Chains A and B, each alone.
Chain A
Amino acid sequence: MKHTISVLVNNRPGVLARVSSLFSRRGFNIDSLAVSTTEDPLVSRMTIVVTGDEMVLEQIEKQLYKLIDVIKVRDHSEDPLVDRELSLIKVNATPQSRAEIMQIVEVFRGQIVDMSESSLIIEATGDSEKVDALLRILNPFGIREMVRTGKVVMVRGGRE
């Protein structure tokens, strides 16, 4: 099962290396990882999507807490979330297919951010399922390149 966890860490050099080393050493699988600073410049947030059962998740949390620079670990399995990821997709587009692609992008509320004789770059934001669906539909046109940020999340409501 996939879990999304937020890890608040001290914003210091080497923290990302410590976290990623822990995951590889203990054999935990990272599906995606997004890192950025937070409202407090001394603190960074890592949003990590991992696959594993409850036992694995418990070990991940406990092992993360052993890292001196880890401040807080939170599993979002039970939380109501806003989750988003950003993707850039470079897709083959001939003058004949261009219009059709642009219609699809509109349905997904994406944007065309670059255009050439033979290709388009599409920017799409949404939860992971939406990005997956867009990719599926664009696939027949020929996807030349694709990049995704990995999921970032925020708990809904007044809580932090």
Chain B
Amino acid sequence: MAVTGAQIVAAQLKKHGVEVVFGIPGGVVIPLYDVLYDESAIRNVLVGHEQGAAHAADGYARASGKLGVCIATSGPGATNLVTGIANAHMDSIPILAITGNVRTNLIGKDAFQEADITGITVPIVKHSYLVKRVEDLADAILEAIHIATTGRPGPVLVDIPVDVTLATLPSMPEGKLDLPSYQPTYKGHRRMIDLAAKTIAEAKKPVLYVGGGVIRSGASAEMAEFARKLGVPVVNTLMGKGAFPEADELSLGMVGMHGAAYANYTMNESDLIIAIGARFDDRVTGRLDKFGVGAKKIHIDIDPAEIGKNVAVDVPIVGDAKLVLTELNKRVKKCEVAEWWEQVRRWQEQYPLTYEQSTEQVKPQYVVEQIYELTQGEAIVATGVGQQQMWAAQYYKCKRPRQFISSGGLGTMGFGLPAAIGAQMACPEQLVFDIDGDGSFMMTVQELATAVTQKLPIKIAIIHNEYLGMVRQWQQLFWRGRYSGTPLVSLPDFAKLAEAFGIVGMVVDRPEGVRPALERALEIKDAPCLIDFQVVPEENVFPMVPAGGALDEVMTDPALWKSLDKKETGKAG
């Protein structure tokens, strides 16, 4: 029986277990949407804006480990996906973005709603296809899914002109993979693994530096075995939250710009940094020429280009974290590091991760702590980007991988709500919180309608401080308090906004109100709800390593800042 291009796309998606797609229809994707109309196996989620579709697919992929799929029409639909695609690219998230395009004979003619989306996305996709013949369509989708989900995962875009989705083939093609030049390295080099084991055995002050790659690889069990075998301190990146349980006695939690001071001291004073699925990002290393100066570095990463990109490495191991750790676990034993631990514990006592509680005002850290306690650390937590994201990272200790859904590399404000939607769709049985900023939330607020339509019981906790808080913090600390562009002067009444969408909205402006509001939120099972936490407006995220500062220049005490000479640093990022 003859099949259309649209049917080929749907068949390939089904074959790969795709159960949900996020998107918005438009002229040139009507044929595809028409096929989805009859497709009971694929849930078709209409979002409010294509950026939300990409973020929801991304959140779905982060929470489930499966491919996330989003669909947009040509022109503005496709360009609206761009931020979401870039976000997935920076954090190595497997998403498939399907865009419609104008008829092949109109491409290049500046036709209505035409955009060169394959051209626009070249630097932010793992790969992309512009499919000009229906004969190539099955292969393109098959290859796109394969590329997105293997090796170092990432977004792949397939752009399909409408005449290709309408064209027919006499029978359903199977599709074939023809990618001789794409061969990711999974197995680590044996000699390098031996050398790593030897280097570890000789270390006096080792630290495990764990990133998102461990989660992408599904290597948490091997990671835990490795850490416990060695008995050494573990720090994680923002993306690595949950790769190793943060409440474990070996864990020092997050490292980097807003990591605990003791985590940063441990990293910088160590004599061996064992990086696993982490990429020595500037938010982790601080000033590079003062980073881990006395430390050897072992770097395990599936992407060869990450090794040696930012820091020189002594033992490079290209491979999949799960396979490499399995091999390493056969070769390592407990490290003799009692003295090192004594030092680390002293730092922990001296520079604890803490904040000043208030009896009058709601502290944002307190809100996160209460969410943590009430959910017993089991919830999936999505975040926006900014102060609230850092407080969530500091005070919501993750137990397991795929629990913390946050935009790391790109730092995309507005990620929280759509990502929470994707996560809740991936994990309907789990409790999902969106810990969002007032500024972040407003950037994708239209997705409230999506959450309501899908009856998703997401708990939206808005850390409402009436500022673009992280930028305001920098302005306060480094720009003489000149709050240019950061006050959010005309925010809506968030509770009423929630009510306008037909869901429960609550306001909390006293510390004693935090717990009861959260308890009430947990009782709502069939719809989202929103809590407007009106927090101390000028609370800052500490500790903090100033941008461009060395890791051991971490500022722990807010009072210290007040005595600092606040000259302009001119450091921009």
Contact = CB atoms under 8 A, between A and B. Distances in A.
Interface of A: 10, 13-14, 17-18, 21-22, 25, 55, 58-59, 62-63, 65-71
B308 A10 contact: no
B147 interface: yes
A79 B179 CA distance: 29
Contacts of A65: 304-305
Contacts of A22: 123
B305 A14 contact: no
B181 A68 contact: yes
Contact of A68 (B118, B127, B307, B309): B127
Given A58-B308, A62-B305, A68 B123 contact: no
A69 B181 contact: yes
B112 interface: no
Contacts of B130: 13-14
Interface in B237-254: none
A71 B180 contact: yes
A66 B304 CA distance: 9
Contacts of B304: 62, 65
Given A58-B308, A65-B305, A66-B305, 17 more contacts: A10-B181, A13-B130, A14-B118, A14-B122, A14-B130, A18-B122, A21-B122, A21-B123, A59-B309, A62-B304, A62-B307, A68-B127, A68-B147, A68-B181, A68-B182, A70-B181, A71-B181
B447 interface: no
Contacts of A66: 303, 305
Interface string B173-213: 00000011110000000000000000000000000000000
12 contacts: A14-B118, A14-B128, A14-B130, A17-B122, A25-B123, A58-B308, A59-B305, A59-B309, A66-B303, A68-B179, A68-B182, A70-B181
Interface of B: 118-119, 122-123, 126-128, 130, 147, 179-182, 303-305, 307-309
A59 B304 CA distance: 9
A71 B180 CA distance: 8
A59 B130 CA distance: 28
A69 B178 CA distance: 11
Contact of B119 (A17, A58, A62): A17
Nearest to B151: A66
A140 B34 CA distance: 70
Contacts of B127: 67-68
B305 A63 contact: yes
Contacts of A69: 181
A21 B180 CA distance: 23
B122 A55 contact: no
B563 to A, nearest CB: 40
Contacts of A70: 181
A13 B307 CA distance: 30
Contacts of A63: 305
A55 B119 CA distance: 29
A58 B147 CA distance: 24
Nearest to B124: A25
Contacts of A62: 304-305, 307
A80 to B, nearest CB: 27
Contacts of B180: 71
A62 B172 CA distance: 38
Return the 10 tightest CB-CB contacts between A and B, nearest first: A62-B305, A71-B181, A68-B127, A21-B122, A25-B123, A68-B182, A62-B304, A63-B305, A21-B123, A66-B305
Given A17-B119, A17-B122, A55 B308 contact: yes
A55 B127 CA distance: 25
Contacts of B118: 14
Contacts of A13: 130
A101 B119 CA distance: 46
Contacts of B307: 62
Contacts of B119: 14, 17
Nearest to A60: B305
Most buried by A among B181, B182, B309: B181
Contacts of B309: 59
Nearest to A55: B308
Contacts of B305: 59, 62-63, 65-66
Contacts of A67: 127
Contacts of A10: 181
A70 B179 CA distance: 10
Nearest to B305: A62
A21 B122 CA distance: 7
Nearest to B156: A68
A12 to B, nearest CB: 10
Most buried by B among A18, A59, A66, A71: A66
Nearest to A71: B181
A14 B107 CA distance: 14
B568 to A, nearest CB: 27
A55 B305 CA distance: 11
A42 B200 CA distance: 47
Nearest to A13: B130
A48 B139 CA distance: 31
A22 B305 CA distance: 13
B419 to A, nearest CB: 26
B464 to A, nearest CB: 37
A33 B246 CA distance: 50
Contacts of A14: 118-119, 122, 128, 130
Nearest to A25: B123
Most buried by A among B128, B180, B304, B305: B305
Nearest to B147: A68
A130 to B, nearest CB: 35
Nearest to A68: B127
A43 to B, nearest CB: 10
